[in-house]
Amino acid sequence: MGNKKILIIEDDPDVRKAMHIRLKANQYDTFFAADALSSMVEARKNEPDLIILDLGLPAGDGFVVMERLATVPALSVIPVIVVSARAGLQNQERALKAGAKAFLQKPVDNTELLAVIRQTLGESVQPEKTTVHDLGSL
C-alpha cells in the first residue's frame, strides 16, 4: 500500500522542514503548501491521507482552508490536524467545530504529534520498545 501521505500547510520554512524530517523518519511521505491558495492545489494533486494545518497563513487563514476543503467531496473526508501558535480556547473550539480532528499548540511535542497522527489515521500506537539483550553466561 505504501507510506501514508501527509500534506503540511505551513508558511514557516523551518517548521515545514522540521516536520518533514520527523515524519519521514516515521515512514510518512510529506508534501507542502505555504499558503491557503496553494494548499487546495496540493491537496487535489496529491490526495493526502492527512493534513497538518497552521492557522496563520498568507492568502487566507487555516479556517478558510477548512471551509474550502469542506466544499470538495473528495477533500472533505481528509482528516485535518491543526498545529498553531494561535492560543486560546476559542481558536481550538472553532477549529474543532470546523472539522479538525485535533488541535495542537505550537511548539508541538514530537511524540504527541506522532501519537495524534497515528490515532487519526487509525494506526496502532506502538509503545516505546525496550531492547533486552541476552548476554548468556559469561
CB 99: neighbour CB atoms within 10 A? 15
Measured between its terminal Cα atoms, the distance across the chain in Å is 45
Tell if the pTM clears 0.75, that is, is over it.
Answer: yes
Question: How is residue 44 written as a grid cell?
Answer: 487535489
In the chain, helix, strand, coil percent, each to 5?
40, 20, 40
- Tell me which of 3.30.70.1560, 3.90.1150.180, 3.40.50.2000, 3.40.50.2300 is the CATH number of domain 4-120: 3.40.50.2300
Q: pLDDT per residue over 59-113, tens digit each?
A: 889 999 999 999 999 999 999 999 998 877 899 999 999 999 999 999 888 899 9
Kindly state the cell numbers that stand for 95.
477549529
User: Can you give the residue ranges of every domain in the chain?
Assistant: 4-120
3-state DSSP assignment of residue 20: helix
